[in-house]
Amino acid sequence: MWRPIGAAVNGKGRPMTHHPALLVLLLTFTQPTHTATRTAQMYQGTVHAIQAHPAGLDLVTGVGFALRLVHMRTLPTTSVDSAGTTIPLGHVKPGDVVRADCRMTETGLVADHIEKLGPQRSRETP
Amino acid sequence: MSAPAVCARVALIGFALAACQKPIKPGDPLRDLTRAERESFDSGRVTFDAVFTPETGLGPLFNSASCGECHEDPAAGGIGDEVELHASAFRAPVCDPLVGEGGFVIQLHTTPALKTALGIDSEPFPPSATGRALRTTPVLFGRGLLDLVPDSAILSYADPDDRNGDGISGRPNHFVDGRLGRFGRKGLVPRLDEFNDGAFSAEMGITSPAVPTEETVGGKPIPAGVDPVPEPEINQTALDRTNAFVRLLAPPTPLKANKAAKRGRQLFQDAGCTGCHIPTLTTGASPVAALSRKAFAAYTDLLVHDMGPELADICLGDATAAEFRTEPLIGLRVKHDFMHDGRDTTLEAAIRSHGGEGKGARDGFLRLSAEEQAALVAFLKTL
């Protein structure tokens, strides 16, 4: 089973499996959560830019060669952690790989929680 | 009859049956597919060869009007004569794929409606790019097998600090979300389905459930009225069919090796080529029996290697401008142009183009006698 984790997880993904028994199990256990978090979206990607005013960040996500920028606002209540430790948002830099739990609001995407997964591992020097 | 004798007879019968099997031609499906899998393959080939028009979703920016346009020679899933343009920018310490300026794939064609609206024949080259690259189309044979090589197997070949001192220090590339990559000349893309799904958008301007938004024109939205087809422009069934076709394309059976080619196979190893072009990889488990736990002739480690400044073009993901994923040599015999940008028209020239981590093997090849070099190339032409 595969689901693109670089894109929003909003219940519109591809069929999870063709195995009937597993499909029934998955439907049984995922359906309530799905309904409860209909507007929740998870993005995992590389930080492209961070804005101070208004606070937000741009994430590079996508599928294959089709990459997209996703903009999300951050709030004072947005929690950020790395390896289980709370860190300031300022410790997130362009090039970091993060997972952002977001919700769609009338004014756009808002990040409730950001987890820093690690930096890109480029070794090129300028 | 003793047990060893029975085993020997069974093995002999197996070899005899294998020898009797009809060779797999370029474009053929894997052997031993179920009826349903074969039907998926056949229906997928129809979608693969379908030619899109602006009225069916093509563009407004695109490189080709069908998958088959770029993967057609000598059969669907093969090569094409198209060469596309990529760009990125290195902004220390990271690589920018220029998504804000339209992405790293520069579409070279526009629909008439976009040309009328903006007066452009292709996507503008990103102004902040620090590198540009040409890319030929790869063969797609055997990619379903490469897709199923476990990450752990790929990582087992990585030696980023060259601790064994062999001059080869391969490492994996990673996608933008941190997963290990393997597809594309820079090894950026983790999964075959994602590579195909992304290609519908990046190469043909076709939106789908996997990529529901259009490419931008240099980072700017498509002008209103230029693309009247509602998103997604193809459905999940079309994606699944195409993915099934590509996934089930078999590696062509190598041609029968003559005496020189047989010697060349050994010379390929002796020269050091197998340091990166790992001859055999094995897939992990798959619900498709024809793909599950199969050892196959891959001739790649799916890692990126520094190939020296002469070949360097763009960074992508973690890969530096000089790093390229070891090209799988599956179906090598159908290619006319070699290396990532098609710069070489002979295999001898391609080997000579290897630098950086490939320098040892290149020098190993150059140290061979003319007869031995010919034998090594004869071997490559059987693949």
The count of other CB atoms within 10 Å of the CB of residue A92 is 20
Q: Which residue has the tokens 């997880």?
A: A9
Residues 293-322, chain B: which have Cβ within 8 Å of A? 315, 317-318, 320-321
Query: What kind and span of H or E run contains B68?
Result: helix B67-70
pLDDT tens-digit series, residues A78-121: 999 999 999 999 999 999 999 999 999 999 999 999 999 976 55
Q: Which residue of B has its CA nearest to A19?
A: B287
Predicted local confidence at residue A95, as pLDDT: 94
pLDDT at A9 over 60: no
Looking at the complex, report in whole angstroms how far the Cα of residue B5 sits from the nearest Cα belonging to chain A.
Answer: 41
The count of other CB atoms within 10 Å of the CB of residue B156 is 10
Q: Which of A9, A48, A59, A63 to mutate to test the interface with B (most CBs of B within 10 A)?
A: A63
Predicted local confidence at residue B18, as pLDDT: 59
Q: Which chain A residues contact residue B202 at CB under 8 A?
A: 64-66
pLDDT tens-digit series, residues B336-352: 999 999 999 999 999 99
pLDDT tens-digit series, residues B130-166: 999 999 999 999 999 999 999 999 999 999 999 999 9
Report CA dihedral (B193, B194, B199, B205) to the nearest 10 degrees: 110
ipTM tops the 0.85 cut: yes
Size of interface A-B (CB pairs under 8 A): 126
Looking at the complex, report in whole angstroms how far the Cα of residue A32 sits from the nearest Cα belonging to chain B.
Answer: 23
pLDDT band of B19, cuts 50, 70, 90: low
Q: What's the token pair of residue B357?
A: 């981590």
Are B199 and A65 contacting, i.e. CB atoms less than 8 angstroms apart? yes
DSSP labels, B225-259: TS--SPSPSS-HHHHHHHHHHHHHBPPPPPPPP-H
Please indicate whether, in this complex, the C-beta atoms of B103 and A61 are within 8 angstroms of each other. no
pLDDT at A15 over 80: no
Does B95 touch chain A if contact means CB atoms closer than 8 Å?
yes
Query: What kind and span of H or E run contains B367?
Result: none
Q: Which residue has the tokens 């099997």?
A: B21
For the entire predicted model, the pTM comes to: 0.88
| Mean pLDDT calculated for residue range B256-262 | 98
Residues 234-253, chain B: which have Cβ within 8 Å of A? 236, 239-240
pLDDT tens-digit series, residues B94-117: 999 999 999 999 999 999 999 999
Query: What kind and span of H or E run contains B56?
Result: none
